Structure 1
Amino acid sequence: MIQNILDFFRNLPAKQCVECKKPIAEQHECYGNKCDHCLGVKDI
């Protein structure tokens, strides 16, 4: 069965950080795989 493309993207699970396994809060479509904490980001 072919699924509606919008439903497919809405149902994607949140990305998880590869180091701490916590969900990455923003930009699920980006290529990053580490959260700001694990990247050492102090201030955005």
Structure 2
Amino acid sequence: MVQNILDFFKNLPDKYCTECGKKIDEQSECYGNTCPNCLHVKSHE
């Protein structure tokens, strides 16, 4: 049975950083598994 694509994405498990273990607020285009803090990424704010 084919599942609705939106339901599929809504039901994916949370992603956690492999370095510190914190939950990653994932972006749709992001395939990384390390959070921005562990990557030492600074925001553009």
Per-residue displacement from partner, 1:12-43 (whole Å, max 9, x unpaired)?
Answer: 122111111111113155111100111112x3
Which stretches in structure 1 are left out of the alignment for 5+ residues?
A: none
User: Which structure carries more helix by proportion?
Assistant: 1
Taking the aligned partners of 2:2 and 2:10, their CA distance within structure 1 comes to 15
State TM-score, norm by structure 1: 0.69
Alignment-mate amino acid for residue 5 of structure 2: I
Aligned to 1:13: 13
TM-score relative to the length of structure 2: 0.68
Q: Give the unaligned 5+ runs of structure 2.
A: none
Aligned length: 43
% identical equivalent positions: 65
Structure 2 vs 1, CA of residues 24 and 17 (structure 1 numbering), >3 Å: closer, same or farther? Answer: same
Distance in 2 of aligned mates of 1:8 and 1:16: 19
CA distance, structure 1, for counterparts of residue 28 and residue 13 of structure 2 = 9
